[in-house]
Amino acid sequence: MSSEAMTTLDSTVPRLQEVFFAAEPALTKLDEITGDGDFGVNLREGLSEVAGRLAAPDSPAPWDTLRAVFLDEVGGTSGPLFGLLFQSLDTRAARSDSYIDALQAGISDGLAAIQRVGEAEVGDRTMVDALAPAVEALHAGDVGAMVSAAVDGALSTAALRARRGRASYLGERAVGHPDPGAVGVALLLCVLAEPVSGTEASDRERARLLDAVSGSTSGND
Ligand code: ADP
Ligand code: MG
């Protein structure tokens, strides 16, 4: 039988698809300026593949499917890194009674796995800049603070020069624009917070993030 934490985690999947499909053009534009332009498409194709598999008659477990698709099928650097985060959340939700415990342990394990593989530190202008402050804020069990910390962390990358990944070759071009992976992680955490803190608080933080992203890219059409 599925744990209550897993049932709650599973309930976020349709929302995750909705939020990322809506944000895809903004994420693509951001990665066109700061990377190679594939970030939003990679995410969208991964989530479409997940939706296809979940619609099958034998309907596999949602988070195990997210893990498998992102670890094995999604391209770019970020695909497998998201896969590691999904894997940690899936594993912890299966073992936790409470959803907040699963979030705390899963996001913290996910950060550790991403840093083990990608070797990025805070300040390198990657998704770690959104995840690390979120883990820190969630230690106190405050999901709203986790979301704000992730959004602040993602926005703080606009001032950073990339030292990891493809964006490191672009140097100054990315400065002034948030890192796409950090924005993607902050969007994910907005969605994961919804079962605890409601949609209104998450919508507000998501709008704060996406408004800043479109503000930074609006002159680059
Ligand atoms: P690629 O750079 O291969 O095109 P994507 O576009 O899929 O990859 O993803 C780019 C994102 O991946 C970046 O915005 C950054 O957040 C993240 N990233 C890149 N390298 C690392 C790393 N070593 N550790 C953590 N995140 C990374
Ligand atoms: Mg890219």
Query: Cβ(35)–Cβ(183) under 8 Å?
Result: no
Q: What is the dihedral of CA 202, 59, 98, 101, to 10 degrees?
A: -70
Ligand 1 within 6 A of 35 CB? yes
Q: List CB contacts of 177: < 8 A, sequence separation 6 or more.
A: 30, 33, 34, 158, 213, 216, 217
Q: Which residues surround ligand 2, an ion (CB under 5 A)?
A: 31, 35-36, 38-39, 76
Q: Is 16 in the pocket of ligand 1 (CB under 6 A)?
A: no
The two three-digit tokens of residue 148, written as one number: 């704000």
Kindly state the tokens that stand for 31.
Answer: 């990665």
pTM recorded for the entire structure? 0.96
* Mean pLDDT split into 10-residue runs, the chain, 221 residues: 89 96 95 92 96 92 97 94 98 96 98 97 96 96 96 96 70 84 98 96 96 88 61
> Ligand 1 in contact with 178 (CB < 6 A)?
no
pLDDT at 78: 95
**Cα→Cα distances 38→69, 70, 83, 114, 221, Å:** 17, 14, 17, 20, 17
Q: How high is the pLDDT of residue 182?
A: 98
Nearest-atom index, ligand 1, CA of 119 = 23
Q: How far apart are CA 80 and CA 82, in angstroms?
A: 5
Q: Residue with the nearest Cα to atom 23 of ligand 1? A: 118
Count CA atoms closer than 13 A to 128's CA, side-chain side: 21
**Both tokens assigned to 110:** 């996910």
Amino acid found at 41: V
What CA–CA distance (Å, rounded) separates 74 from 76? 7
> What 3-state DSSP class applies to 141?
coil
| Distance, C-alpha 2 to centroid of its chain | 24
**CATH code for the part of the protein at 4-216:** 1.25.40.340
pLDDT at 179: 95
Among residues 159, 81, 151, 148, the alpha carbon closest in space to that of 123 is found at: 159
For the CA of 167, the closest atom of ligand 1 is: 2
Q: Where are the domains of the chain?
A: 4-216
Task: Using the mean position of ligand 2's atoms as its centre, give its distance from the Cα of residue 180 in Å.
Answer: 8
